[in-house]
Structures are given as C-alpha cells and as structure tokens.
Structure 1
Amino acid sequence: MRLSIDTTDRLAVTDVTARVADAVPSDVERGVCTVFVPHTTAGVVVNEAESGLLDDVEAALARLVPDDDYAHDAIDDNADAHLRALLLGSSVSVPVADGSLDLGTWQSVLFVECDGPRTRSIDVRVAPTIA
C-alpha cells in the first residue's frame, strides 16, 4: 500500500505509526511489515515520537550535515538532504503479531523529510510468515 505524506518544512519528523498500522491486514497472525521510502532525500526510522526528541532529531541532523557548499548543490542545491537521508536509511522492518505492529512500548515509525516541503510517499508491505 502506498501512503501519501505532506510535509511543510525543509527538515521535519512525522510520526506515521498509526497510518502504517492501519495498512496491516488484521488477518496476519505473524509477519513482517516493511516501510520503504522511495525518495533519496527522505528516510524512515523507528524511535520514540516524543515532541522534544523529534525536535532533537531535526537539530542533530542539521548539526551532523550542515547546509554547506557541496558539489551536488550545483545541480539541485539539496546535497545536505541527500546526505541526511543517507544516514537515516530508506526502510525499516517491524514484526507483526496478531494483525498489529509489534513495536516496543516507546517505539514509533517516523518519516523524516530532509528536502521539504513536499508531498511524499511511503510504501507499506506486509509479508506473512509461518511460525
């Protein structure tokens, strides 16, 4: 299933857990849910969705990869976004149990925009497994 996400800032973290969970078929007793971001300037991670931490993630990415003068900027002026997304990764896998995401107590699926604002998509695929 492909989900659409609208972002409003250049660098932003969005909790997409509920939307991903809604895409998991209720009849899957055990399986794996893969969330994939088909963009080179955005990523997806599993972490806590506490608002202060989300702000910290944005600040840390900005510090780790500053908006400097990179070679790729001559083409698109977004090299920092590519480099930030490279650090994050383009997919996560989450176990499914009894038709639900089997996340830890504080875990959430977070979409990270590095080159917004944009309309983005994420792909959610669930593969049932045999116990």
Structure 2
Amino acid sequence: MVHKFKVKTSAKAEMADITREVHALVGEHGLESGVCHVFVPHTTCGLAINENADPDVKRDIIANLDKTISEDFPYRHAEGNSPAHIKAVLVGPSLTVFVEGGALQLGTWQGIYLCEYDGPRSREVWVKLVKG
C-alpha cells in the first residue's frame, strides 16, 4: 500500500522538512524493520536527505542551485519553469531510508526534505513501507 500526504510550500524555492510526517507513517503502520521509500510524483520538485540543524545549509543549497542553473538561459520549454525541471533532475524524485526498531535510520544531523523549485504549490508525497 502507498501512503500519501500533502505538503504546501510557501516560496518559489524552499526545502520543506518532512521528516516528522514520514516518521509518523512508520509509527502508525508499525514497521519495526524494513525500508521506507519516499517519492514525489512531480517534475519541478525533488527529495533530499541533508542537515536539519543549521537552516543556513538549506539556504546555501538553494542559493548555489540558483547560481548554477541560470534563469536567463534561452530555454525552449515555454512555461518559464525550465530551471525548476533541471534542479529536480539533479536532486531526484525519490529516496530510501532503512527502518530499524520502528525508527528511521537517519544520522544525527539528517532530515528528509521536499525540495521545491517551482512554488508555492501543494505537493503530494508518496511513501511505501516494506517489511524486511
């Protein structure tokens, strides 16, 4: 079964911490040992695991992606969000986290982020829990 939840982003580019929502699904469904696969069915956002202690890390990531992927390039895609598509490809639409003892096996400073590049929007996150 695929579990789904929504995330409302509030900026054109942001990293929304979804660790609690994902961890809550693990607890609600009693997964003690296995994997948690997280996916976004969108082409202008992605998922990442990164530091969740210092908010400057998120700002640095967004700023460097903005610097690397130009808004001024003569893109052929007519919707005006080509940079968001490119950033989403670089970050990727999915990630997998081990679950042991009913808890996500993340490092001390790690969090799971929905990386928005074409907001603000309402995004859907899909989670598949696999026992094993």
Corresponding residue number in structure 2 for 1:70: 75
TM-score normalised per structure 1: 0.93
Q: CA RMSD in A?
A: 1.0
Q: After TM superposition, give the deviation of residue 60 of structure 1 in Å.
A: 1.0
How many residues get paired? 127
Which ranges of 4 or more aligned residues in structure 1 deviate by more than 6 Å?
none
Offset, 1:29: 2.2
Aligned to 1:89: 92
Equivalent residues in 2 for 1:28-67, closer than 5 Å: 28-49=31-52, 50-67=54-71
If the length of structure 2 is used for normalisation, what is the TM-score? 0.92
Structure 1 residues without counterparts, runs of 5 or longer: none
| Structure 2: runs of 5+ lacking an equivalent | none
Pick which of 21-30 and 96-105 moved more. 21-30
d(CA) in 1 for partners of 2:18 and 2:99? 16
Q: How far apart, CA to CA, are the structure 1 residues paired with 2:45 and 2:89?
A: 8
Report what 1:116 is aligned to. Answer: 119
Q: Deviations over 1:31-90 (max 9, x none)?
A: 000110110000001110220001111101101112123111x2x111000000000000
Percent identity, aligned pairs only?
Answer: 39
